[in-house]
Amino acid sequence: MSELVFAQGYTLTQLFVVLFLAWGITTFFYWRTFTTLTFRRFMILLLLRYISVAAVVFLLFRPMLQYTKEQVQRKSIVFAVDTSASMGISDGVGGAVNQEEQVQLQVRVDQVKDKIKLWSTKLEKDFLLHLLKFSDQAVKLPEIGLAPTLQAEGTSTSLSAGINGTNSIMDGKKKIPAKEIEALFLFSDGQNNTARNPVLDAQKLGIPVYSIGVGTGLKSSSSFKDLQMSDIRVPEHLTYNNKARITAGVDAVGLEGRTVKVILEEDTTFAVEPARGKKNETPIVNETVSSPNTVTANNRRKIGEQDLMLDAIEGQQEVVFEFKPEKVGRTLYIVRTEPLGDEAIKENNERQIAALVVEPGMRVFYLEGTLRPEYGAISQRYLAKDPDIEFCAMVQIKPNVFEQQTNIEGFKLKGLPNDQETIDSFDVFIIGDIDSSYFRTEIQEMFVKRIRSGAGLIMLGGYHSLGPGGYAGTPIGKVLPVIVGDREIGQFSEEFLPKLTPDGVSSNIFANISGFFPSTLGAASKEGLPLLTGCTRIQTSNPAATIFATCPNVRVPAPGGGEMEMPVLAAQPVDQGRTVVFTADTTRRWQQGPRAMNQDTPFMQFWGQLIRYVAGREGAVVREAGVSASVDKAYYEPEESVTISATVKNADGEGSEKASVSGTIIRSDGKQDEVKLEIVQGTPGKYTGIYEPKTIGQQEIKVVAKIDGLVLNAPEKMIIDVGRPNMEFDRLDLNEELMTKIADISGGRYSHITTADFLIDQLNRDVTKRKVIEQIPLAPPFSFWAIFVILLTIEWILRRRYHLR
């Protein structure tokens, strides 16, 4: 049944009212204007104008003939085909003896192509067929007829990509809703090697997934022989020049009794030698890049080799390599064996993974026995503002009750450290005004053990430290660079400025700030530094000590005889570590006074350089704006998130919370992505952002910060690997367990490709019928405008012929 309708809800009555009204107005004006014409000529012009007016009215009302028809709607079926490299192998071994074994002799992806061709002929009448291919990403093919063109060449397998790709199936320009998709047929060997969980994605899909397993268990064949590097375990961060361990897994089938060489190599293309003593310089790295995700033999250096006799026990054999990394930065480690002549798959004889070799981190433990102003100055004005330091500061607020301040995530002490593991986690110890009686002898020995293994200790002056604190003869007192004296040695209470010795002037402790202090060469070149209000007296220095600064107003016996100015700042080595004594305790005056008067101050640099000196990280602390960046590791599984971190300093060298920080990722396909880094609350100067890699291969990350009108580029060239070469050959057996889970949780079924034909017979072939309203325009705009122009043209010609205006 059909009916006449109009656009905008107009009615036929409205059309005629407007039309007759327009005709009436036309007739009135024509009658007044053209009274001199004959009746015949008048009616011709009037009729032409009537028709022109009608054309315009019809264009405005847009009449349409509307009718209802019944439409048959077919549901859709999606074929998602795994085209990763593991689908390019043949499972057949030896000669085929039956039809099923003949199928297995085919390449896996060819089995799928034959199955889709067969099923398409049976399903195309009742269903709309769609084709997806996937490896790390899913791609919709224009038509099902392109199935024969599928090639197994992907570098990884993301079953989640194949499952979620169904959400992008389009019918023309319209996305097909899940309720109109009858089923998803997922063809794969089930070797999912990306970070996402395909079972959870199948559960959320809302469409039955029929998992079709392709392949077999290769290792079950008696004639199958293969040697595979099945695993490589490397810590995400290795410490420069410290012992590191890499464990390689070797899995062999059918090769028991043979001896192979397992080789460990490294590629340090993007690593650099640490710039010792030059922290402010940017190291230049070799920018020669091999093909994404691969290394060439020219870049490799052998760092280990072991012979391994292959056994017949199921499971991998482990080979452990120990070595010391010699460069800082991204380093690629490769374990490999030479291919054997009779093994089936040679692509899996090598495995590689990237790790970050870093300089040792710096953790500071600061302890005070009283809540004195110096504690606030060091903890709040320095430690909390140096973004390169992790610290824990504790102060006694009432007898045996300590308050903790820290920027170490998740770190909490209930009392003073009393176990070796906790003590060993710190690189520098600052002991302030706290009596030695708080430390049992065995606890002091733990601190000394850590110092001897490479940590540093700074002991400050105070009424309950050094000699007055009873440290003489204690394990800690014995490793200090001075003879502290007994409890009655007392304090020097007059104001003074430390006087630098020649060793002090040339030391990195006073780099760029020696001009604030008098020295043996003369007075300070920079005036205005507030005086310290005294210091703790000591008896003398140890013969092995280096004296950096003295109190010129106090003289003490010299170790070799005679007298000398009393040391204020002295240090000495203790095996692999160092100890420092700084007898003053009022450096807060260096921070408060000059800052209040907007004057320059050495406070931040003095403490930064002193702590780095005692930690063995000598280098000048430069007071300038800057940004440094890092990633949480060097290797990521496909679809694994990358955490990008940045540290931003303002012009005073302090961590800034007011920067705008972003990262640019140059992907392996040459395209770029952007990620914004947000401030980490409670840690000034620390920013972090999360990036989800979109491609497999090497990715380069650059970080830029904007602060106070300056654009700062991080000097680090950060290279990460997403996936690795030949990861598709890590596991080649059909993973029926995973494929079954995907099917079961989605309401589908699992079957091997050789027995899966019954699945298409179980599909619901009922079609859906629905009523569709169709409309046929009766006044096509172009046609009616053409009629209108033609009519006006004819009227104009006639009016000229009739000598009318």
Render pLDDT for 609-630 as a digit per residue (tens, 0 to 9): 999 999 987 665 566 788 888 8
Q: Once rounded to an integer, what is the mean pLDDT over residues 417-435?
A: 94
Q: Which pLDDT does position 341 carry in this prediction?
A: 82
Beta carbons within 8 Å of 139's beta carbon, 6+ residues apart: 132, 133, 165
pTM for the model:
0.57
Strand-pairing partners, residue 254, are: none
Asked whether residue 297 carries a pLDDT value surpassing 70, the answer given is no
State both tokens at 52.
């022109």
Phi-psi region of 410 (alpha: psi -120 to 50; beta: other; left: phi over 0): left
Beta carbons within 8 Å of 667's beta carbon, 6+ residues apart: 673, 693, 694, 695, 697, 699
Q: In what order do the strands lie in the sheet with 428-431?
A: 401-406, 390-398, 363-368, 428-431, 456-460, 577-582, 563-574, 546-557, 499-500
Asked whether residue 93 carries a pLDDT value surpassing 50, the answer given is no
Q: Which pLDDT does position 666 carry in this prediction?
A: 92
What is the total residue count of the chain? 805
Return the higher-pLDDT residue of 793 and 280. 793
Lowest model confidence (mean pLDDT) among 61-70, 217-226, 317-326, 437-446: 217-226
State both tokens at 562.
């005679």
Beta carbons within 8 Å of 49's beta carbon, 6+ residues apart: 26, 30, 791, 795
Question: 783 in helix, strand or coil?
Answer: helix
To the nearest whole number, what is the mean pLDDT of the chain?
A: 84
Q: φ, ψ for residue 112 (rounded to 5)?
A: -65, -45
Question: 602 in helix, strand or coil?
Answer: coil
Q: Which pLDDT does position 293 carry in this prediction?
A: 43
User: Which is nearest to 157 in space by CA: 88, 110, 77?
Assistant: 88
Q: In what order do the strands lie in the sheet with 209-213?
A: 138-141, 128-134, 76-82, 181-188, 209-213, 750-752
State both tokens at 171.
């019918």
474 close to 512: Cβ distance less than 8 angstroms: no
- At 429, is the pLDDT very low, low, confident or very high (cuts 50, 70, 90)? very high
State both tokens at 94.
């030896």
User: Which is nearest to 625 in space by CA: 516, 526, 714?
Assistant: 714
Q: Which pLDDT does position 639 carry in this prediction?
A: 83
CA dihedral 693, 728, 188, 220 (to 10 degrees): -150
CA–CA gap between residue 763 and residue 792 (Å, rounded):
63
Q: Which pLDDT does position 294 carry in this prediction?
A: 44
666 close to 699: Cβ distance less than 8 angstroms: yes
Q: Which pLDDT does position 598 carry in this prediction?
A: 61
Q: Which pLDDT does position 280 carry in this prediction?
A: 33
Phi-psi region of 466 (alpha: psi -120 to 50; beta: other; left: phi over 0): left
Phi-psi region of 561 (alpha: psi -120 to 50; beta: other; left: phi over 0): left
Which helix or strand (DSSP H or E) is residue 356 part of?
Answer: strand 350-358
Look-up of token digits 């005294």: 534
Q: Which pLDDT does position 298 carry in this prediction?
A: 59
